[in-house]
Amino acid sequence: VGDLVGPSTGPLTTVSQIDPIKALVTVGEGPWTDFISRHRDANERQRYIKSLDFELLLSNGEVYPEKGKFYALDRSLDVKTGSIRYEVTFPNPGNILRPGQFGKVRFVADIKKGAMVVPQEAVNELQGSFQVAVVGDDSKVSIRPVKMGERIGALWEVTDGVKPGDKVVVQGLQKAREGSTVTVKEWASPAQTVASDGSPAQKTP
């Protein structure tokens, strides 16, 4: 009774583990290299990765209530995509998650206390140097050279050249000139998580 199985026979069935369930996640080579540079000791890095709590954003935008934990990391990068894959396990007591579902996984890779960030469009890059247009209390523009750090989503860390509370020009930067007077309007990103006045930031790759 049953089918004859041979070398060319396809899979008869698929076995999937439901609880806990694995999420397959990819991260780009750039963010991965940045992470390695901050955690160069392999043992310390392994301990740190295992201590992380991962959040899962479901396809409807809701945050899955259970936290995930790191499970495994691929040995090599995918040469086609320039990314590396890792696995995260999530408790699934109510069988809410099913194999084949899609979602987004996030975690806080690093926290920089007192870091100042501005929208990337507020930075003018010219031959390897960077400038921002700062608006003073008199509504006049001052062009300042700045040093830039890490990019965090749509934001960019400023390591030197501005101070907390400085107002920078985000829109119309190309028209801003030293000493020119501008009308100040509060700017808000469509998905604003950090103010454009240099508020402390958390990095979430």
| Phi, psi for 62 (deg, rounded to 5) | -75, 150
CB atoms within 10 A of CB 80: 6
- Tens-place pLDDT, residues 76-132: 888 888 888 999 999 998 888 888 889 899 887 777 778 888 888 889 888 889 999
Query: For the segment 17-57, what is each residue's pLDDT rounded down to a tens digit?
Result: 788 899 998 888 888 888 888 888 888 888 988 898 999 99
The answer to whether the Cα torsion of 176, 165, 149, 29 is positive or negative is negative
Q: Which CATH class is domain 112-203?
A: mainly beta
Amino acid at 182: V
- Domain spans in the chain, listed from the N-terminal domain onward: 21-107, 112-203
Indicate whether this model's pTM tops 0.85. Answer: no
Question: Domain 21-107 is of which CATH architecture?
Answer: Beta Barrel (2.40)
pLDDT at residue number 200: 41
Give which of 173, 49, 54 is closest to 119, Cα–Cα: 173
